[in-house]
Amino acid sequence: MTNGNGTRRVVVTGMGAVTPIGETVPELWAGVREAKCGVSELGGFPLEDLKVLIAAQIKDFDHKARLKHFQRDKIVIHADRYSWFAAAAADEAMKQSGLEIPVEDPYRAACIVGSGAGGLVTYETAYRDLFIHNKRATHPLTLLRIIGSSAAAHVGIEFGIKGPTFATCSACSTATHAIGLAYDYIRHGLVDRAISGASESVINYGTMKAWQALHVLSPQGCFPFSKNRNGTVLGEGAGILVLESLEHAEKRGANILAELVGYGQTSDARDMVNPGVEGPREAMRMALADANLAPERIDYLSAHGTATAINDKNETNAIKEVFGDHAHKLAISSTKSMHGHPLGAGGGIEATLCIKAMEENWVPPTIGLTEPDPDCDLDYVPNQGRDREVNYTMSNSFAFGGLNTVLVFGPPPA
Catalytic option among 37, 111, 169, 172 = 172
Q: So what's the pLDDT on residue 177?
A: 98
- pLDDT confidence of residue 2: 75
Q: How far apart are CA 138 and CA 412, in angstroms?
A: 49
Concatenated DSSP letters of 165-214: EE---BTBTHHHHHHHHHHHHHHTTS-SEEEEEEEE---SHHHHHHHHHH
Residue 172 is a catalytic residue: yes
**Catalytic choice (177, 248, 304, 339):** 304
Determine the Cα–Cα distance for residues 101 and 124; give it in Å rounded to an integer: 35
Question: Residue 275: its pLDDT value, please?
Answer: 86
How far from the centroid of its chain's Cα atoms is residue 282's Cα? 20
Per-residue confidence (pLDDT) for residue 265, from 0 to 100: 98
| Residue 111 a catalytic site member | no
pTM of the model: 0.97
Q: What is the pLDDT of residue 175?
A: 98
Total number of residues shown for the chain: 414
Q: What are the average pLDDT values for consecutive 10-residue runs of the chain, which has 414 residues? A: 84 98 98 98 95 97 97 96 98 98 98 97 95 95 97 98 98 98 98 98 96 96 97 98 98 98 97 92 98 98 96 97 98 98 98 98 97 97 98 98 98 94
What type of residue sits at position 395?
A: S
Strand partners, 245: 10
- pLDDT value, residue 3: 81
Which residue of the set 111, 339, 341, 354 is catalytic? 341
The CATH code for residues 1-400 is 3.40.47.10
User: Contact 287/409 with Cβ under 8 angstroms?
Assistant: no
Task: Give catalytic status of residue 304 as yes or no.
Answer: yes
Domain boundaries, the chain: 1-400
What pLDDT was estimated at residue 95?
98
- For residue 102, is the peptide bond before it cis, meaning its omega torsion is within 30 degrees of 0? yes
List all residues 6 or more positions away from 153 whose beta carbon is below 8 Å from its beta carbon: 165
Separation of alpha carbons 173 and 114, rounded Å: 10
Neighbours of 74 (CB within 10 A): 10
- In this prediction, residue 91 carries a pLDDT of 98
What does the pLDDT read at residue 5? 77
